[in-house]
Structure 1
Amino acid sequence: MFDFVRRHNRLLQLGLVIVIFPSFVAFGIQGYQSFNEKTQSVAHVDGQPITQAEWDAAHRQQVERMRAQMPNVDAKLLDSPMVRQQVLDQLVRERVMFAAARDLRLDPTDQRLQRLFRADPNFESLRNPDGTVKAELLAMRGMTSAQFAQQLKQDLAMRQVLLGLGVSVPASTAVTTRALDPYFQQREIQVATFSVQDQRAKVQVSDAELKAYFDDEKNAAKFQSKETVSFEYVVLDMAAAAQSVTLSTEDLRKHYDENVARFETPQERRARHILVKIDPSASSDAKAKARAKAEGLLQQLKADRKLFADLARKQSDDPGSATQGGDLDWISRGAMVKPFEDAVFSLGKGELSGLVESEFGLHLIEVTDIRGGERRSFESVRAELEKEVRQQLAQKRYAELAEQFTDLVEQEDNLQAVATKLKLQIGRADKLVRGEPPANAPLLANPKLMETLFDTQTLNAKRNSAPIELGGNQLAAVHVTEHAPSRRESIEEVGVRLRQLVTDQKAAAAAVAAGKAALDDWKQQPTSAALGAAMTVSRVEARSQSPALLNAVMRASTDALPAWVGVDLGQGGYAVVRINKVLGADPAVLEPQRAAAQYAQLWTQAETDAYYKSLRKHFKVDVSAAPAAASGAAR
């Protein structure tokens, strides 16, 4: 066990967050039965309210988790109605699961919880040698042992509500095949296409038709010009701030001296040990016998150090290292319990300790090798230091310049003053279209900059915009020099485009008419059909056919074969399709074992969702608040 803890101690410490506190993101263990009815509620489950305060608290916790995972995420996204709704949905689900577990009497016994705690390796870091919970670790999370046991019991009960559904779905090969074969079915078809392009040369368009199309309100949006702005902009970023930073050798030397530990290779020691285990609850006589045994082993080792490996194999109570002759491999600081670590790092190479007592018992330790501990010289890390210090100073300088940037932008009615004072370049962009960020200029495509550009105040004020935080230590300001609002274009301006639109419309109609006529003829006289070569298609293998054609083919009735289908392809023309054969699913696509697993997974999800919906109905879930009602927790 000692070896296991040594190797996995840090990982198991994370179990306190991942395993012990997986649920109830917004309320405590005792809180479920003690909600304040007078507090404003946003939902009710089984007659119990979810209050606005609980929703806000859950939202804040969710925001903190997301910010920890994505530090640069836009705060507006975290405060969006979608995120708020997800938080409220999770609160409702937890309350439903709690009520169901209570009604189903899914209350784990104390004996079952104790077995789970003692057997589950995820709780290894929380267990004392005698199997009790480490109260000091729980105290760090503001919990007592009783609260931990109650929450563990509650969480296990809630998980059992839906647990059985995951193994209740039959997924035999025969069932899977019958269910999925229609979707993966193949059909042999032949296609004839009547293209718009072939009809364009035959189409004649009159001036009256052009005017009628232009005047039709249904087509008005096609002749609406796009709103554009031309503007100037300046950007303050870390690169600009770094240009004003100067470094001296003294600055670098000071930083080196303050962080010298970072430039040392951590020392590691290879050790072996013999453990004589002592149970804390053992009697005084038993403890005395264990100490006497350890003293005897120590004397043998002092007499002949070559006996260490053999004694460890036969006498050590640490099964993880005993089979290796007591060898614990390389040990770094922080990996062992403190008494053991202090002893290891106080010994020289080849030295033997006295009796070292820890929570596991008595140890006899020998250090067999030492490595690391070397320090890199100042000159060898100078380039690294310069980059690091320059970045730190640039960050500080950026904060100073950002304040100046803000003052100058807000005080002036152009960008020249801030550009001159802070030595920034003025950029220019012409006719940027609303809603169409430029693909080749990521800075100008920034959503915050685009939003500011087309803000009414920015367009009308004829002054600099307020500073825009673009994220990633970037601050910008824009000044609109020209604004072209969206407007209805004249018929003269759209002449060429108008004629093209009307021509395409008439050509598409002609292609549909020709296709439908051919379809009628070929149904009557199949031998006269001018169709392409036969091909096999499916929803997985489209063979370059359009989604519209493929969808029509797979939906068509095949009670009588051959079957005929006509498909309007819009500007692609019209297609006439003859379905010759219906084939089974492609074995290469519908692999039996994988298909069965996917089918079972889909049905499990469907049954779980359906059961949860029935529980919501049974426990009378009533959500009265809209997502926007949550307080702004992300601010």
Structure 2
Amino acid sequence: MLDFVRNNRRLMLLLLLVIIFPSFVFFGVESYSRFMDSSHDAAKVDGRTISVQELDNAVRDQSERMREALGASYDARMFEGPEARKQVLDQLVLQRVVSDEVARENLTVSNARLVETISSIPAIAQLPKKADGSIDDKAYLQLLAAQGMTPDQFDARMRFELATQQLSGAVSGTAFMPKSLLERLLAIRDQQRDVQALLLKPSDYTAKVKVDDAALKTYYEAHQGDYSVPEHAKVQYLALSADALAAAQQVSPDELNSYYQSNLARFRTDEQRRASHILIAAAKDAPAAQRQAAKEKAEKLLAELRKHPDTFADVARKESQDPGSAAKGGDLGFVGRGTMVKPFEDAMYALAKDGDISDVVETDYGYHIVKLTGIKPAETKPLDVVKPELEAELRKQLAAKKYAEMADAFGNMVYEQSDSLKPAADKFHLTVQSADNVTRQPNPALGASNPLNNDKLLKALFNDDAIKNKRNTEAVQVGPNTLVSARIVDYQAASVRKFDDVQAKVREDYIAQQAAELARKDGEARLAELRKSGSAEGFGALATVSRTKAEGLSPKALEAVMRVDTSKLPAFAGVDLGPQGYAVYRVAKVSQPAKPDPAQLQAAAQQIAQVAGQAELGAYYEALKARSKVKVLHSAGTQEQGAGN
């Protein structure tokens, strides 16, 4: 069990995130309310449909978001095929099921909790603030608009996410791990075994393999897939991209200056001041006598500081009751307006120059003495400094406008003159590009960003009509502001290479297979003998391994070593390593390290309880699905499933 927990903990955490949050990361709450014609249904949950179009959109959204997140390491094949579509459909089904349960349980979120959560999101917390410390409304609206959302939609999404967290937390938080079981699991995890290896290599058996033409032909017939040439094509393609257009855009000095003037606020830094303070704490609801005593102490300290202002830092370290700044001599660093409470801020900005000390300032926290230690005046970056940034932005805006004007014409031309991409290339001043060995499936060799790895473009390119007549595909949107049309120049259907052409490779593969088989048979015979004799002859040096320390053993070998019965030593285990041969492992000694200290025990308990909670949560979700009469329809490309049908 602990092997599973240890080896799959990160996977389990990933699966939990996929289970709990898919609606917010990929699709949005609004997807729950979309309904389509029943003839295009992918699934039903309690009679409510999930359309094939909704599934297609979800797959596309996931793929695009993963493309943005992973960049060059993105592989479009992650979202290809029935299995990938089924996983996304499972997520959509789970969204519906969880949504229904949240509504059934009447789970709600207070406005205060919602505001607190939204304000803690880094992208929102970094937005400009108003004088009262609240988030600037205009900046907030712009941020949401960039994500295609209104404040109401975002509030609804966050409310649903928080309500779902209540549901999942109530289930996963009940997981419990008894101390006796935990100690047993840790003992299994940490157990050490001294092991020796004896490897029987296939290369030692190649000379014993008998080869004849009949055997080679039989092997070839049984493994024709290893000698096949996949379907492939030589392809030309033409891309209309706003990014490419941006490089060609010219920005005039007048346009640049006008854009700079309209964005001055972005490049302006308000005045900031650095201050130190001494706080004599007194809560606002403290008795009057206590506050008066605090005030009198502050006034006494101020009188001394007026005489000896250079002792401010020492007095702050000794007398200040602000735990965050006292140790630093009262230093608060540079702050702008809206950061401090108003009486403190007013006093700080009333000071004229470095070294000035305020009168005693009363706030809800008590009584402060403020010393000004620095001023950063307001400044605005000049146009020359921000010119490259603004030029790039303007080029991008002009390119986006030009792209919008050209997109329809581009699509029409590649369709109307479908026997060549050259007319469109000439008209729009684009370059026809080419690629060899393009297949129906994305090819990592072309690069993750290559449009020929786009699943929609590949489907259009390998359409029967496009293959037969070598026509241009429609203009396919392969990314934001990017259209691509492609055509097959030369097509080769999938084929199996003739035996005579691959006879040498067949011979090599056959000998390797037979040698590995001889090594396996010999290894199994040696294993049987060793279990009787217990001999250590022929084995390598001792290595101490555990479930957390493989010492070079493959996962398969380590599992065999740790599973072997050690009630009688030496114990032996055999492992078929396939093309690498056959290995026999001799376990000579078993030892148990010292028990973990209480801190390690507690940390391990938390990890295992977390995984146990995730398992309970998964079982809970399956129970919800069973109760919700989930039916996956044949039109989704999968078989019917679900309970309660």
TM-score (norm 2): 0.61
CA deviation after TM superposition for structure 1 residue 552, in Å: 2.2
Counterpart of 2:246 in structure 1 is 242
Tell me which moved more, 195-204 or 65-74.
Answer: 65-74
* Match 1:264 to one of 248, 262, 268: 268
- Whole-Å separation in 2 of the counterparts to 1:608 and 1:245: 53
Alignment of 1:621 with 2:607, yes or no, is no
8 A Cα contact 2:476 2:484, kept in partner: yes
Percentage identity across aligned positions? 27
After TM superposition, the structure 1 = structure 2 runs for residues 235-634 of structure 1, keeping only pairs within 5 Å, are 235-268=239-272, 332=336, 371-412=376-417, 413-435=419-441, 437-439=443-445, 441-444=447-450, 446-448=453-455, 449-527=457-535, 529-577=537-585, 579-585=586-592, 593-603=599-609, 605-606=611-612, 609-610=615-616, 613=619, 621-626=627-632
1:265-297 per-position Cα deviation (integer Å, ceiling 9, x unaligned): 3244689999xx9x9xxxxxxxxxxxxxxxxxx
Counterpart of 1:188 in structure 2 is 194
8 A Cα contact 1:190 1:533, kept in partner: yes
Tell me which moved more, 517-526 or 69-78.
Answer: 69-78
CA deviation after TM superposition for structure 1 residue 430, in Å: 1.9
Tell me which moved more, 414-423 or 176-185.
Answer: 176-185
Q: Which amino acid aligns with 2:250?
A: T
Q: Which amino acid aligns with 2:413?
A: L
SS at match of 1:253: helix
- Whole-Å separation in 2 of the counterparts to 1:232 and 1:427: 6
Quickly say closer, same or farther: Cα 1:86–1:339, change in 2 above 3 A.
Answer: farther
- Whole-Å separation in 1 of the counterparts to 2:390 and 2:342: 33
CA deviation after TM superposition for structure 1 residue 72, in Å: 8.1
Q: Which amino acid aligns with 1:421?
A: K
Alignment of 1:223 with 2:238, yes or no, is no
CA deviation after TM superposition for structure 1 residue 177, in Å: 3.1
SS at match of 2:496: coil
* Match 1:165 to one of 170, 174, 179: 174
- Whole-Å separation in 2 of the counterparts to 1:521 and 1:155: 60
- Whole-Å separation in 1 of the counterparts to 2:506 and 2:62: 54
CA deviation after TM superposition for structure 1 residue 482, in Å: 1.0
TM-score (norm 1): 0.62
- Whole-Å separation in 1 of the counterparts to 2:403 and 2:527: 72
CA deviation after TM superposition for structure 1 residue 438, in Å: 3.8
SS at match of 1:564: strand
- Whole-Å separation in 1 of the counterparts to 2:533 and 2:95: 63
SS at match of 1:494: helix
Quickly say closer, same or farther: Cα 1:475–1:202, change in 2 above 3 A.
Answer: same
- Whole-Å separation in 1 of the counterparts to 2:423 and 2:94: 51
Quickly say closer, same or farther: Cα 1:203–1:534, change in 2 above 3 A.
Answer: same
- Whole-Å separation in 2 of the counterparts to 1:270 and 1:82: 55
Aligned-residue CA RMSD (Å): 6.2
8 A Cα contact 2:238 2:432, kept in partner: yes
8 A Cα contact 1:240 1:424, kept in partner: no
- Whole-Å separation in 2 of the counterparts to 1:383 and 1:410: 39
- Whole-Å separation in 1 of the counterparts to 2:348 and 2:59: 43
SS at match of 1:493: helix
Pairs aligned (count):
524
Q: Which amino acid aligns with 1:190?
A: Q
Q: Which amino acid aligns with 2:262?
A: E
- Whole-Å separation in 1 of the counterparts to 2:582 and 2:172: 52
Quickly say closer, same or farther: Cα 1:622–1:585, change in 2 above 3 A.
Answer: farther
Tell me which moved more, 194-203 or 438-447.
Answer: 438-447
Q: Which has the larger radius of gyration?
A: 1
8 A Cα contact 1:81 1:627, kept in partner: no
1:519-559 per-position Cα deviation (integer Å, ceiling 9, x unaligned): 34444555584222232233333232333332222222223
Q: Which amino acid aligns with 2:174?
A: L
SS at match of 1:543: coil
* Match 1:205 to one of 207, 211, 217: 211
Q: Which has the higher helix share?
A: 2
Quickly say closer, same or farther: Cα 1:594–1:231, change in 2 above 3 A.
Answer: same
CA deviation after TM superposition for structure 1 residue 241, in Å: 0.9
SS at match of 1:469: strand
SS at match of 1:190: strand
SS at match of 1:187: strand
1:434-489 per-position Cα deviation (integer Å, ceiling 9, x unaligned): 43614353343633344444343432331111123222443322111111111233
Q: Note the residue ranges of structure 2 that are not aligned, 5 or more in a row.
A: 1-20, 31-42, 121-133, 138-149, 285-305, 317-321, 357-362, 637-645
8 A Cα contact 1:268 1:333, kept in partner: yes
8 A Cα contact 2:273 2:335, kept in partner: yes
CA deviation after TM superposition for structure 1 residue 64, in Å: 10
- Whole-Å separation in 1 of the counterparts to 2:566 and 2:325: 73
SS at match of 1:236: strand
SS at match of 2:378: coil
Tell me which moved more, 93-102 or 567-576.
Answer: 93-102
Counterpart of 1:299 in structure 2 is none
Tell me which moved more, 155-164 or 196-205.
Answer: 155-164
- Whole-Å separation in 2 of the counterparts to 1:71 and 1:496: 45
Q: Which amino acid aligns with 1:428?
A: S
Q: Which amino acid aligns with 1:558?
A: T
SS at match of 2:240: strand
Quickly say closer, same or farther: Cα 1:201–1:447, change in 2 above 3 A.
Answer: farther
Q: Which amino acid aligns with 2:563?
A: R
1:135-185 per-position Cα deviation (integer Å, ceiling 9, x unaligned): xx9xx9889xxx9xx99999999688548725x53437xx53322322443
SS at match of 2:483: strand
CA deviation after TM superposition for structure 1 residue 99, in Å: 6.4
8 A Cα contact 2:561 2:587, kept in partner: no
Q: Which amino acid aligns with 2:630?
A: S
SS at match of 2:395: helix
- Whole-Å separation in 1 of the counterparts to 2:416 and 2:473: 11
CA deviation after TM superposition for structure 1 residue 226, in Å: 1.3
Quickly say closer, same or farther: Cα 1:580–1:247, change in 2 above 3 A.
Answer: closer
Quickly say closer, same or farther: Cα 1:407–1:553, change in 2 above 3 A.
Answer: same
8 A Cα contact 1:349 1:369, kept in partner: no
After TM superposition, the structure 1 = structure 2 runs for residues 32-43 of structure 1, keeping only pairs within 5 Å, are 42-43=44-45
1:39-97 per-position Cα deviation (integer Å, ceiling 9, x unaligned): xx9546xxxxx85599x999999999999999889999799654453354355446557
Counterpart of 1:34 in structure 2 is none
1:96-121 per-position Cα deviation (integer Å, ceiling 9, x unaligned): 5776799xxxx99xxxx99x99xx99
Tell me which moved more, 199-208 or 241-250.
Answer: 241-250
Counterpart of 1:89 in structure 2 is 94
